A and B are shown apart, each in its own frame.
Chain A
Amino acid sequence: MRGRTWAMLALTLVGTALAAGAAELRLGSAPALPVPNLLVNPGVEEGTDGRPQSWAFGTATPAIFESDWREGGRSGRCLWLKARTGEMSGYWAQSVAVVPGTPYLAKGHLRILSGKILCYVHGTADVGDGRKVSVDARHYRGTMRGHWLTPVFVPLDALSGPDAERWHPFRIPFTPTAPVDRVAFSLGLYFAAGEAMFDDLEVCLAEVALLVRVEPAAGEVLRRVVVRADGTAKPIYDSGALPEGTGVFTHEIPGQPSDGQWTLTVTLADGRTLSQRYPKHEGEAPR
């Protein structure tokens, strides 16, 4: 604990020195992070008359489902549903406009109390001749806890499944095929009796281009620029030894995940290293 405190203090001092007149490091992205969430009411907190704004529940067999906008979410309210039988699937859903051919990411958090959930992104468009193209990207997750075969036919202790008391993140990458320009993000129970909850949902661009800009201060010489994604040892970019006289250094790294975090590290000729993280999440409340 004591060593960590000293290290944090040192970092603070370095950062202060940089701000006082050293090289200017800028790690950013296009578009900027966080990318816009395409969903309306993604936290499921807004609504009237007992219904969440912009979210709708649908199934071909309403008689077997209960659905509700209720307290008990990660914060505030969440989407809840329960199926008495597995005769039919049922989903909370919201649709969003998308640009064909562009990679996207749908994500959120779920609690699965019993049954099998399906979160999926889907859309269809006609291309003529009776043919259709579609996007259909899925995330299944199931638990047998609470299955109606327990305990008489299946022993409870043997069953697998995610902890029903915790929220679990999920993510679904997808790229709509042209001409699909609108997709639905559906969250529900997939032909299984069960109960599930969904909260803090997002549909956003999956990729950004990282923009690197390093401007040395007067008298400073850039030797090397490295960008690493958090949790990976291998750099996603390494300039190698920079030629003498490199002035303002800029570089673009396309195709980076929009939910990533990176560190830009610059080595100067005098051996000093400067770094910057992107994006910064200091102010984000813990979840």
Chain B
Amino acid sequence: MTTRTLTRVTLLLTFAGLWASAATAYQAGRLTIEPRPGDATLAARTDLAPGLLRGARLTLFDGRRQAALPLGPARLGEGPADATLAWTPEPGLEVDLRLQAVGSCLLWEVRCRNRGQESRWLELGPALDLQPPAGQAQWFDGWDDKALTDADQSSVRMAGNMPMTALWTPDACLAVGLEPTELVSWFRHSVARVSEDALALSCTARCVVDPGAEAAVRFVTLATLGEWGRYEAFDAYYASFPECFRAHPEVDPRASLGSSQYRAWPTGSWSPEICRRLYGGWEWCYAPFKRTGDIVGRPELWDYTPVRPFGTRPALPRDEYLAWREKAFTDGAERCGVAMMFYIPAQVWCEEQLARERYADALVTDPRAKTYFSTPWVTGHDNELLVFPHATSFGDQTRRDLAEIAETLPIAGFAFDTAGGVARYTGPALPRLEGRAWDDEVGVYCSELVAIAKVMDYVHTLRRDGRRLAVVSNPMATGSYASCVRSDSAMLERSPWQHSRTESDRLRWKLGHKTMVWWEGYEAGDFVDLATVKPDDLAAVYEGLADFTLLQSLRVGAIPPTNFTQGIARLVRWLPAIVDCVQTGWEPVPAVRLPAPAWASRYGRGLETRLALAQETGEDLNLEAEVLNPRLGTGAMLFAHADGRPQVNRVRAGNTLLPLRLAVRTPVLLRAMLAVEPSSAVSTAEVALRQEATRAVLQATVTGAGTARLRLATPAGMRPTVATWAGQPLALRVTAGAAEAEVNLGEAGRLEVAFTSDLFALSDEALLGFPFVSPEGATATLLVAADAPVAVTRAAARLQEYFRYWHGRIEKPAREVLLPIRPEAAVGPAVSIALVPGRPATVRREGDRLIVEADSAAALEAAVDRLLQALDRRWWTSEIFGQTAVRDRLAAFSGRE
């Protein structure tokens, strides 16, 4: 959909008869900008809404003089070789602009060179001149949608704004913003009236250019469809800079799961299975250091007098403390299989004595920020000062410390708390810093966001076990865009109802497609008097909050961690689907029209599309949702319920119409199963997917006319084996990763496609009926060769733990069941686990032997993951809720499903 090529149209232009040069039209997506020599305004247009976009400009403001700085005549083809336009606004200041298409955005790189003697305080950025039809436009100020007024409006919400502002009509959305990796300490979104019917939409950033130096700031402009307003702009933005809105591809993929939320920090007797069953992929290992600012625990910094007494663990001798820490990380990583994230307060807080004695150059003294904690904060026993962890003595130490931690502890990344800060640093390192801004309160400064971003970038350069270290952060909804762009996933330290229903949206927008995780928990004491509430009333509150969590998780793409799921059957049953959606990636444009108050959220596109639909009233709603297929890919998409139940699809004018009943507190989750090309060939279809652990069958009854190409969605971990159309064999071919076939559509043609697992070479019955355990105890032996590699013994230990957990914690009465791990075949059933070079991962059964094999440690671990998930079909549990009085009711809670 996006135009990724730069269209260059060369024109000969003459300006004042003095010189002639080549002019180029720059096009990206639906936006075209054409520089004009001698004119500060660039010609700009979009084919989406002729007349809406009237031009584009670079604006420049002198912060010292507090006055706009006219650019003067533009010079085309002068200045640096790669410059599009160049200006000399006044002697000693040179400005040039380089335009470049990036995805569907036009990138504006604005460079300023200071040839003068005094540093320049500038505010600059692109402005789009717009003439929207009266009463039809809305403005997004980076945080909220606003109506246009006669007055100029602007937003400088460094703490939370999207780095993009947009204005849209039903036909088109125009947006201006920062290139997402750009680091600036100050930016402003504004819409200003330039005449009665014309507006200027702009994003400007402040920068400081020292004498003899050059500064550059990169912006983007874009034009896209208007139907979904700001979300259309986000869609184009994400697609143009995909690496900013997905987790780094080389970090541990468990960073994109939910959090184990202290079930692995510290580990307990049942932690491995609790974490696995509740999709706790990463742990927020809180404050694993004695002294804030000394995350390593260096001997020369170990002994000091805290302002409040140490707790038990920080009071340990250093070697004992470090030994405890190493064991705690190792337990979580190896025993629980959780990606352990070493907690740091984004390295912006440091114990007071340490900060004053060693890192005084890093102290942040912003008079408007909280820079000092004299009350318990990170460790509880320290007072802490705000510091700047980049290009300062503390920044240098931070890098050494992060590298040493990465080398010595089995971690998968760092957990950045307080990651969204924007306090202003004005200390001695300031002249060395990039991204500086200015204001009339503190003069020149650099925002904390720059330092945090640099620390995050540095973490991504560190490696362990062949992977880059991950950044999991807590930036809050009000956190900076820069932290969100650099995080691989993030928590929102809120429950879904705290503050407002949509606070989570602001973090979601900045994260793009990345995983977001709720935090906190139910805190039912906020709603009821825990001392007097009746158990049934309390359970009803939990059920309602769990249902709300379910709906919001699907609406905004957030994974509920263990505090929300543990022991609540309905959420645990929905959890795999929620995780699947979030990992597929939230999409800003739902591409589904449906009547209010119903809502829809989309994950993925094409045959990867998932649609979540729900409403939040007290009455069931019957409605028809219209899926705009051209927004999803090619052809008409046909959907089934994600749990496999059939869904009726009607195709009209290329779009898919879905009759739905949205029940109270009950979402509908649909998956694209088929794409039909051309879309005009199909009129109706009923689609279902019957899925087991080891096999699946897609069944569709399709009515249409003419020859059509059917493309099939393949369930994860499976491959199509046999297909029939109207009872006759149907040949499938695989094109671009999807199985497809041609059929002649008519009245109620029947498609059936069988899929088989690429791992399980046995049936569900054979797998789930395998005699692991009998009423008398363990019946199966786990066979592991005496010289087996660690990966094999770990796989056996996970299977052993699986049944130990089930019979020791879930089954009543509890009993200890430990499948023996032995090197040789024993009489009776056995599970043979081995690494076999060259053999694809397999789980198969030969009589009373279950065989688990793979050719690498990673493949074996993945195979065991899937094996355990398959076994969960028989040995399923919602785990155990903490409060006894409501435990049984929540374990049986299924909502209206």
Contacts and interface: CB of A to CB of B under 8 A. Distances in A.
A142 B524 CA distance: 13
A133 B374 contact: yes
B689 interface: no
A95 B770 CA distance: 74
Interface in B470-525: 497-501, 503
A252 interface: no
Interface in B355-396: 356, 363-365, 371-372, 374, 385
Interface in A107-165: 129-133, 142, 144, 147-149, 151-155, 157-160
Contact of A152 (B532, B537, B616): B616
B527 A158 contact: yes
A84 B365 CA distance: 35
A130 B499 contact: no
A152 B528 contact: no
A149 B544 contact: yes
B527 A154 contact: yes
B372 A153 contact: no
B617 A149 contact: no
Contacts of A193: 500
Contact of B500 (A86, A157, A158): A86
Contacts of A63: 144
B501 A155 contact: no
B497 A149 contact: yes
Interface in B622-670: 664-665
B547 interface: yes
A130 B529 contact: no
B388 to A, nearest CB: 12
B527 A144 contact: yes
A160 B230 CA distance: 39
A130 B665 contact: no
B547 A160 contact: no
A129 B364 CA distance: 10
Contact of B527 (A86, A131, A160): A160
A63 B529 CA distance: 32
Nearest to A193: B500
Contacts of B529: 160
B247 interface: no
A16 B513 CA distance: 85
A87 interface: yes
Nearest to A151: B618
Contacts of B665: 152-153
Contacts of B144: 63
A124 B529 CA distance: 35
B453 interface: no
B523 to A, nearest CB: 11
Contacts of A264: none
B545 interface: yes
A130 B548 contact: no
A115 to B, nearest CB: 11
Given A152-B664, A153-B545, A155-B541, A130 B527 contact: no
Interface in A84-107: 85-87
Nearest to A131: B372
B846 interface: no
Contacts of A86: 498-500, 503
B413 to A, nearest CB: 30
Given A86-B500, A158-B541, A147 B527 contact: yes
Given A130-B365, A155-B540, A148 B501 contact: yes
A85 B528 contact: no
A278 interface: no
A141 B527 CA distance: 12
B9 to A, nearest CB: 45
A191 interface: yes
Contacts of A158: 527-528, 533-534, 537-538, 540-541
Contacts of B374: 133
Contacts of B365: 130
Nearest to B363: A130
Contacts of B526: 142, 144
A192 interface: yes
Contacts of A131: 372
Interface residues of B, number: 35
Contact of B537 (A149, A153, A155, A192): A155
Contacts of B541: 154-155, 158
A191 B499 contact: yes
Contacts of A157: 537
Nearest to A116: B526
A191 B476 CA distance: 14
B500 A153 contact: no
A84 B545 CA distance: 20
Contacts of B497: 149
B548 A153 contact: yes
A127 to B, nearest CB: 10
Interface string A216-245: 000000000000000000000000000000
Contacts of A152: 544, 616-618, 664-665
A253 to B, nearest CB: 33
Interface in A47-64: 63
Nearest to B370: A132
A159 B499 CA distance: 18
A33 to B, nearest CB: 34
A85 B540 CA distance: 24
Interface string B126-155: 000000000000000000100000000000
A250 B372 CA distance: 48
Among A63, A144, A159, A191, the most chain B Cβ lie within 10 Å of the Cβ of A159
A7 B129 CA distance: 88
A154 B545 contact: yes
A87 B503 contact: yes
Interface string A183-204: 0000000011100000000000
Q: Could you say which of A148, A153, A160 has the most chain B C-beta atoms within 10 Å of its C-beta?
A: A153
A155 B533 CA distance: 12
Nearest to B544: A153
Contacts of B503: 86-87
Nearest to B617: A152
A144 B541 CA distance: 11
A158 B529 CA distance: 9
B452 to A, nearest CB: 19
Nearest to B530: A160
A155 B544 contact: yes
A149 B372 contact: no
Given A87-B503, A130-B363, A160 B548 contact: no
Contacts of A85: 499-501
Nearest to A134: B374
Scoring A133, A142, A160 by chain B CB atoms within 10 A of each residue's CB, the highest score goes to: A160
A191 B617 CA distance: 24
B363 A160 contact: no
A60 B239 CA distance: 34
Contacts of A154: 527, 540-541, 544-545
Contacts of A142: 526
Nearest to B525: A160
Nearest to B538: A158
Interface of B: 144, 356, 363-365, 371-372, 374, 385, 497-501, 503, 526-529, 532-534, 537-538, 540-541, 544-545, 547-548, 616-618, 664-665
Given A133-B374, A191-B499, 16 more contacts: A86-B500, A129-B356, A131-B372, A144-B528, A148-B501, A149-B544, A151-B618, A152-B617, A154-B527, A154-B541, A154-B544, A155-B540, A158-B527, A158-B534, A159-B528, A160-B533
In the A-B complex, the 3 residue pairs with the closest CB atoms: A158-B537, A86-B499, A153-B544
Interface of A: 63, 85-87, 129-133, 142, 144, 147-149, 151-155, 157-160, 191-193
21 contacts: A63-B144, A85-B499, A86-B498, A86-B500, A87-B499, A130-B364, A130-B371, A144-B526, A152-B665, A153-B547, A154-B527, A155-B540, A157-B537, A158-B527, A158-B528, A158-B534, A158-B540, A158-B541, A159-B528, A160-B528, A160-B533
